[in-house]
Amino acid sequence: MIRSMGFDLHYHEIRTKLMYLLEVNTSGSMNDQEFIRVVGHLKDTELRQMWKVVNEEPRCEPAKQLKQRTFEETVLAENAAKAVTFMDFIPWASELRKKQREEVRRHHGFGKEEVEAFRQDFKAYAHADGIRPSDLRRLLTEKFPMLADKNTMQDHRARLSEVLGGTASSGLVAFLALARICHDFIEASKLKRERQAIQDTGFADAEVDEFRTLFMGQASPSGLPGSFSYRLAFDDVKLLLHNVVPLGHKNVQVLRKQVRLVNKHGIQGDDSVNFPEFLHLLRRLLDANFAGIARLGHGTQGRKERRPSDRRPSEAAT
């Protein structure tokens, strides 16, 4: 829903920001007031980030030109007689973000970089009248390889067959609409796996948030730019753990073995982990007190039994 409203946020950004705001709620859903609070927080964060940017010196010529066109020739020109304050800045920034969100909505919740990536792929397959159904199915499965995983997509099999079973040629906008449906299928599957991993590992909500921050600080995207699928390479796992526990040659080999035991959705031979796998990896390391890691205190209180009512709100992440 957040994406459909024009907020260009990837999965982990939405999870982090929504969970931070709604951590006291254990109902598994949010009411109208809570949703309004979330949207208000996102808008406020956007404005403050934009204010920070316009007060910094641009690092490259294109950014300098963009700042001059969008800010200096409008806000500064209208307030030439005085210093521009945050309150002067808010109306201009709010209007600009409104236009940007409208563009994201027109593109079915995809941001500028994502749309450009889709556009290039679409051009490679498209003909004068659009893209043929057979090429469309091929393109979608290339962009979303998880669609071919029957276990992952079992909850969406009927709808997926309907999406991929079209008979008419499609233009770019129609292609983006189908890509959004496929993307949402995968997001739902990702959320389901994450919920299961949290339940299986028994980590507390605060621990999950901390681990997510660590994960996103090192993870790299694989798939759509900036939003689709993040994985932590083995070298990055080593780097994270090296900061807190000794990692000699023997421990590195043990760690690699543990990574391979939890790696369920990576490429064969790719010693990397997604976030649910990262949680399972940490649980295994803590339970085995790998390199004395249990002294850090995470998960040493015993596994937390999580009832359905303990699960945190997530409906806005789709």
In this structure, what is the dihedral angle of CA atoms 103, 104, 106, 112, given to the nearest 10 degrees? 80
Q: List C-alpha distances in Å: 47 to 9, 71, 203.
A: 15, 13, 34
Instruction: Using the Cα atoms of residue 138, residue 143, residue 144 and residue 148 in order, give the sign of their dihedral.
Output: positive
What domains, with CATH codes, occur in the chain? 3-190 (no CATH), 203-302 (1.10.238.10)
Q: Please name which of 282, 292, 288, 314 lies closest in space to residue 208, comparing C-alpha atoms.
A: 282
pLDDT tens-digit readout, 19-57: 545 444 445 566 777 777 777 777 887 788 778 877 777
Q: Please name which of 43, 57, 59, 56 lies closest in space to residue 93, comparing C-alpha atoms.
A: 43
The whole-angstrom separation of Cα 164 and Cα 153 is: 13
pLDDT tens-digit readout, 57-75: 766 666 566 666 666 666 6
Task: Please count the helices (runs of H) and the strands (runs of E) in the chain.
Answer: 13, 3
The whole-angstrom separation of Cα 29 and Cα 66 is: 41
With 70 as the cut, is the pLDDT of residue 199 above it?
yes
Residue 246 banded pLDDT, cuts 50, 70, 90: confident
Listed in sequence order, the residues at least 6 apart from 5 whose beta carbon sits closer than 8 Å to its beta carbon are 39, 101, 105
Task: Look at residue 181 in the predicted model and tell me its pLDDT.
Answer: 84
Residue 4 banded pLDDT, cuts 50, 70, 90: low
Task: Look at residue 12 in the predicted model and tell me its pLDDT.
Answer: 58
The whole-angstrom separation of Cα 276 and Cα 295 is: 23
Residue 318 banded pLDDT, cuts 50, 70, 90: very low
